């Protein structure tokens, strides 16, 4: 069936026998979470999108937080941020449609500079990514010369370009420890940073960025679930506040949580994360009862089937990254991908006090500079001057105290000019 005809039917809300036949195998997977009456609205779009994918030699990458009709209906590859980044590298398609938020599409573009990368809605942002800019990272580097910067992939390409190595929630601890240093600037998620700090002896400098979805969960809410459903198994994402992680049975990334449900096969679970994730995982585990706390990510939910269809048909909205930024940002993502992840371990009490710091051996690199520093392109010119007498010493930074630091620097510079 011609893709344009299917698109016309979809926009006219036409559900007919042809569409029913074309989408019947997809609906079999979704029957448990989408009622038939609702499916008749989605099905024409699913048929048209799948036809356009063939016509354009396109693939759809969907994050775990996408709604089930996208995740199971039109996506070719699904996963968390790390999985999507890795999949983006190996695709043979000419066009990648990223069903997720803008930083994910940028990451796909960084790794596939010659492919067309589309995002169905340019406004699909992220509170975490928007909490920090490349200029903020440059100021932090001035505060901690030579200290490597590890950045969560939930950041703009501009921030990644100022970064030594990226990480995801699935590999953050491994990435931090892979550097062989005793101090790391970890950006931008404060709670993920605290979680990493609880798992490593590396000293962590934090940024006060939060995910607006995960920061809303509270320990009281989790305890209430336990009261209502005795024996429930609680899985939490490390972007949640520390008191939530304290009361969880398992702390892990989205992929870690999915694997853990498969490993433990609990009778009843609650996934303390974005709510579409529970819907998507529930389909793979029909014997497990999922209690669904509903914190929606408004940015992820900007992606809809009609927008995906528009995107594929008109090849919009193309994601572009300036070449100079892309070159530096790509390095930080490629370094992350090159780090082999160790198997994830269950963490019943993630935020427990950590033991005394262990000394991590380090060696000089090829230039004879200690590996206790950032990568060469981020090293300060003219050697290191560790610390700065002008800055107050704090381990948690935000735009406000960085602004204060920048003002302090300007005043100091002006004072020395006037002397
Ligand atoms: S769930 Fe949180 S971190 Fe993920 S895209 Fe939404 S706001 Fe950003």
pLDDT confidence of residue 73? 96
Burial call 281-306: b when 16+ CB within 10 Å, e when fewer: bbbeeeebebeebebebebbbbbbbe
Contact 371, 364 (CB under 8 A): yes
- Rounded to an integer, what distance in angstroms lies between the CA atom of residue 104 and that of residue 333? 12
403-406 contacts at long range (C-beta below 8 A, 24 or more positions apart): 405/139, 405/143, 406/139
For ligand 1, is residue 213 a contact (CB within 6 Å)? yes
CA–centroid distance, residue 104 to ligand 1 (Å): 11
For ligand 1, is residue 91 a contact (CB within 6 Å)? no
- Rounded to an integer, what distance in angstroms lies between the CA atom of residue 310 and that of residue 313? 5
For ligand 1, is residue 299 a contact (CB within 6 Å)? yes
Judge if the upstream peptide bond of residue 26 is cis by omega within 30 degrees of 0: no
Residue nearest to atom 2 of ligand 1 (CA): 211
Contact 120, 97 (CB under 8 A): yes
3-state secondary structure labels for all residues of 43-55: HHHHHHHHHHHHH
Residue nearest to atom 8 of ligand 1 (CA): 126
For ligand 1, is residue 300 a contact (CB within 6 Å)? yes
| Paired tokens of 254 | 């989205």
- Rounded to an integer, what distance in angstroms lies between the CA atom of residue 175 and that of residue 195? 14
Give the nearest ligand 1 atom to 129 CA. Answer: 8
For ligand 1, is residue 154 a contact (CB within 6 Å)? yes
CA–centroid distance, residue 175 to ligand 1 (Å): 21
Judge if the upstream peptide bond of residue 317 is cis by omega within 30 degrees of 0: yes
pLDDT confidence of residue 380? 66
pTM of the entire predicted model = 0.84
Mutate to test the pocket of ligand 1, among 299, 302, 303 (most ligand atoms within 8 A of CB): 299
- Written as tens digits, the pLDDT of the chain (419 aa) is 899 999 999 999 999 999 999 999 999 999 988 999 999 999 999 999 999 999 999 999 999 999 999 999 999 999 887 788 778 788 889 999 999 999 999 999 998 899 999 999 999 999 999 999 999 999 999 999 999 999 999 999 999 999 999 999 989 999 999 999 999 999 999 999 999 999 999 999 999 999 999 999 999 999 999 999 999 999 999 999 999 999 999 999 888 899 999 999 999 999 999 988 888 888 888 899 999 887 899 999 999 999 999 999 999 999 999 999 999 999 999 999 888 654 433 333 333 223 333 332 333 333 333 345 777 777 665 443 333 333 344 578 887 777 777 777 777 778 888 77
Contact 319, 118 (CB under 8 A): yes
CA–centroid distance, residue 19 to ligand 1 (Å): 34
Contact 69, 106 (CB under 8 A): no
For ligand 1, is residue 212 a contact (CB within 6 Å)? yes
3-state secondary structure labels for all residues of the chain: CCHHHHHHHHHCCCCCHHHHHHHHHHHHHHCCCCCHHHHHHHHHHHHHHHHHHHHHCEEEEEECCCCHHHHCCCCCEEECHHHHHHHHHHCCCCEEEEECCHHHHHHHHHHCCCCEEECCCCCCCCCCHHHCCHHHHHHHHHHCCCCCEEEECCCCHHHHCCCCEEECCCCHHHHHHHCCCCEEEEECEHHHHHHHHHHCCCEEEEECECCCCHHHCCHHHHHHHHHHCCCCEEEECCCCCHHHHHCCCEECCHHHHHHHHHHHCCCEEEEECEHHHHHHHHHHCCCCEEECCCECCCCHHHCCHHHHHHHHHHCCCECCCCHHHHHHHHHHHHHHHHCCCCCCCCCCCCCCCCCCCCCCCCCECCCCCECCCCCHHHCCCCCCCCCCCCCCCCCEECHHHHHHHHHHHHHHHHHHHHC
- Rounded to an integer, what distance in angstroms lies between the CA atom of residue 284 and that of residue 265? 11
CA–centroid distance, residue 126 to ligand 1 (Å): 5
| Paired tokens of 260 | 């853990």
């Amino acid at each position: 069936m011609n893709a344009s005809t299917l698109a016309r039917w979809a926009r006219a809300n036409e559900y007919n026998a042809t569409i029913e036949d074309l989408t019947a195998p997809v609906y079999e997977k979704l029957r448990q979470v989408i009622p038939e009456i609702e499916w008749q609205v989605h099905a024409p779009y699913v048929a048209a999108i799948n036809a356009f994918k063939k016509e354009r030699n396109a693939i759809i990458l969907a994050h775990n937080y996408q709604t089930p009709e996208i995740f199971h209906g039109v996506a070719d590859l699904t996963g968390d941020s790390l999985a999507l980044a890795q999949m983006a590298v190996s695709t043979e398609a000419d066009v990648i449609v990223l069903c997720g938020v803008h930083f994910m599409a940028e990451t796909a573009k960084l790794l596939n500079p010659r492919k067309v990368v589309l995002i169905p809605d340019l406004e699909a942002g992220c509170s975490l990514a928007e909490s920090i800019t490349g200029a903020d990272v440059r100021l932090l580097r001035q505060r901690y010369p030579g200290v490597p910067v590890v950045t969560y992939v939930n950041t703009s390409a501009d921030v990644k370009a100022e970064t030594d190595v990226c990480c995801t929630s699935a590999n953050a601890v491994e990435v931090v420890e892979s550097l062989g240093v005793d101090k790391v600037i970890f950006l931008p998620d404060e709670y993920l940073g605290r979680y990493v700090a609880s798992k490593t002896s590396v000293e962590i400098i934090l940024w006060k960025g939060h995910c607006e979805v995960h920061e809303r969960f509270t320990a009281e809410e989790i305890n209430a679930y336990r009261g209502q459903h005795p024996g429930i198994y609680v899985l939490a994402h490390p972007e949640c506040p520390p008191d939530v992680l304290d009361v969880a049975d398992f702390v892990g990334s989205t992929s870690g949580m999915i694997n853990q449900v498969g490993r433990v096969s609990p009778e009843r679970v609650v996934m303390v994360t974005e709510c579409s994730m529970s819907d998507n995982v529930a389909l793979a585990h029909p014997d497990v009862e999922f209690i669904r706390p509903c914190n929606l990510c408004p940015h992820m939910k900007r992606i809809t089937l009609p927008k995906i269809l528009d995107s594929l048909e008109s090849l919009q909205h193309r994601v572009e990254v300036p070449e100079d930024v892309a070159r530096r940002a790509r390095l930080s993502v490629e370094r992350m991908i090159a780090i082999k992840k160790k198997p994830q371990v269950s963490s019943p009490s993630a935020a427990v006090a950590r033991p005394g710091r262990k000394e991590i051996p380090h060696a000089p690199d090829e230039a004879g500079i200690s590996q206790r520093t950032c990568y060469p392109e981020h090293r300060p010119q003219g050697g290191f001057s560790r610390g700065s007498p002008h800055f107050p010493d704090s381990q948690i930074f935000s735009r406000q105290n960085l602004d204060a630091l920048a003002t302090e620097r300007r005043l100091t510079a002006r004072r020395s000019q006037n002397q």
